[in-house]
Structure 1
Amino acid sequence: MTVALMWEARAVPDRGEDLLAWARTQELGGDPPLRRETFRAPQDRVLVITWWDAPYDADLPELPEPDGDLVTRPVHRWRFESVAAD
């Protein structure tokens, strides 16, 4: 089964590039994911998606919370299982 972990944070105003750089340098530890992608969006938001070959409820490494002076709110996290690939 393929599991995707999504991590999304919003930087304090004008710190989007700092949050993006922080997210790109974070190591996950253990075996690497099948795939990892990092995105940015308006309002200084950063999204990281990692794909894993694992059961849905597996204990998988996730990115940590950034320092409070970098983000406006707690990180949002979601977990999905793949049901089809096009």
Structure 2
Amino acid sequence: MSSENRDVIFIGKKPLMAYVTSTLIQLANLPAVHIKARGLSIGRAVDVAQIISRKTENAGYSIGEIKIGSEQLESKDGKSRNVSTIEIEVKRNAP
């Protein structure tokens, strides 16, 4: 796994706390982690970022840059459709 992929957590259908735990483990070794999601998982990505920033406020984690956009995907029936995307940066605050 390359170093640029280690700082990205892709949100899917696993339990919410699995993503929170993964993000916190990555933040122990990296200064920032990017949480990415698209479609129906966007709300879950926001929840993960909020849990980390609010519950671990004393540990010094905060939400950084947030990027929103859309991707054009082809559906099973061959039609092109737009899917919303989000990328949330969670970072360690400087001591």
TM-score by length of 2: 0.37
Larger radius of gyration: 2
TM-score by length of 1: 0.40
